[in-house]
Amino acid sequence: MFKIYGIKNCNSMKKAFDALTANGLAYEFHDYKKQGIDADTLKTWLEALGADTVLNKKGTTWRKLTEAEQSYALANQEQLIETLMAHSSLIKRPILATATGYIAGFDEATYLALKQS
């Protein structure tokens, strides 16, 4: 079973849910907007995927942060984790936990390949 992390009302999440369901892949959903996200999980993602992948700088949440808040978040991993916990909308969506690691973002071909593994 897969575990998918994100925010329910997100277009990328909807596509990911649809792809997993269409391919008959069981999953558990963790809505970090409602359930929160812990520092250990974020640290694991940052180490596995890198800050450039986990941090969504393209969204409105990032643009709404002041320059000082953005600089603070980018200063080091500890401060980035603190910022991501406070503003979970800054986390790339979805993040899918698989048996072999993590997949950030939605790519239809990548999700289709999960059926064959």
* Active-site hit among 4, 10, 55, 97: 10
Q: What percent of the chain has pLDDT over 70?
A: 98
Q: Span 2-25, mean pLDDT?
A: 95
Cβ atoms 97, 83 nearer than 8 A: no
Give the integer Cα–Cα distance in Å for 101 and 109: 17
Three-state SS at 110: helix
Confidence of residue 115 (pLDDT cuts 50, 70, 90): confident
The pTM score is 0.92
Residue 117, pLDDT > 70, answer no
- For each of the domains in the chain, give its residue range(s) and CATH number, in order of start: 2-93+102-116 (3.40.30.10)
* Average pLDDT rounded to a whole number, residues 79-97: 97
Distance (Å, whole) CA 72 – CA 95: 24
User: Active site includes 26?
Assistant: no
Average pLDDT over residues 77-89: 97
> What mean pLDDT do residues 31-53 have?
96
